[in-house]
Amino acid sequence: MDRLNINKTAQEVHEQYQKMESVGYNTMVYGQAGTWKTSAILTCPKPVHVYSFDRHGWAPIKRYVDGKNINVDARFEGAFGSRIKAGQQETTFNRWQKDFKEKANSGYFDAVGTLVFDSATTWALSIMDQVRKTGGKMMPDNDYIINKKMTPDQKDWQIQMEALKLALDDFLSLPCNCYLICHEVTEVYGDNERILTLPLLTGKLKEQIPPMFDEVYRAEAVPSSKGNTVRLLTQNDGNIIAKSRLAQVPSGKNSPYLNKYEEFNIKKLMIKVGLEKEAEDKPPLF
């Protein structure tokens, strides 16, 4: 390869990297009920758009939902779809996907500071509902579910898992910050019966989804004399899954670094890992 072609190839690679670099901060936070996962939406860069799949999941922040800075779309709550048109079965997941693609194609998410999914656990259930009701059959504008099967079995769960990974890939490619909320589960692994705390997702997704995110934190309640507080575990302790790609071992005064436990504040975490610009609020949506 001559020098001219080498330069051209290197520039193309670097341009592709710059496109990837422009994608915003992305984090998954999982934990038990009552660990402020939804309340922490108020600490995200605004405006915040929330896709709510947990029924009444928005209740902790309802007094702050003004549509301008905090906008909650609760049309997709509940794991089960419904017949919304005479003679046509359209599931929650299919309706959500249409809405998501319309907003992505229109540039809506360019104006959003943070996009939130609350929660991945019930969002995944809505995908299985799609598989169960349609046999994985292609619905209008539906390119995530790619197989046909009428009765739920192991293959149906595989369809659901592949669909969720494809949808998350689109979620993580947006020009805004992304915050995925998930419930948690504790399971026994391996012959040595190792106990692990993981995000509550289907099968191997517990292991496959976290690597898709730069940041994976576990929210945990800490009892005190004044009532419970909540902190985030940012590092894997061997039994509880957590990580940070953006934090580094401290090498200087201004190097990005997170303590093992951090305050549950998304903006502050972004600033600590060097994302001051991404942590800034954008203008209200209207």
**CB 267: neighbour CB atoms within 10 A?**
22
Output the average pLDDT for the chain.
Answer: 85
Residues 110-138: tens digit of each pLDDT: 999 999 999 999 898 888 877 777 665 54
pTM, 2 dp: 0.85
**Helices within the chain (DSSP H only):** 3-21, 92-106, 120-134, 154-171, 205-208, 266-272
Q: Which two tokens stand for residue 267?
A: 């903006």
Question: Residue 48 — very low, low, confident or very high, per pLDDT cuts 50/70/90?
Answer: very high
Contacts 24+ apart (CB under 8 A), 242-245: 242/216, 242/217, 242/218, 243/210, 243/215, 243/216, 244/214, 244/215, 244/216, 244/217, 244/273, 245/214, 245/215
Question: Residue 142 — very low, low, confident or very high, per pLDDT cuts 50/70/90?
Answer: low
Question: Residue 147 — very low, low, confident or very high, per pLDDT cuts 50/70/90?
Answer: very low
Residues 81 and 133: their CA atoms lie apart, in Å, by 9
Which is nearest to 165 in space by CA: 225, 120, 195, 107?
120
Residues 191-225: tens digit of each pLDDT: 777 899 999 998 889 989 999 999 999 999 998 88
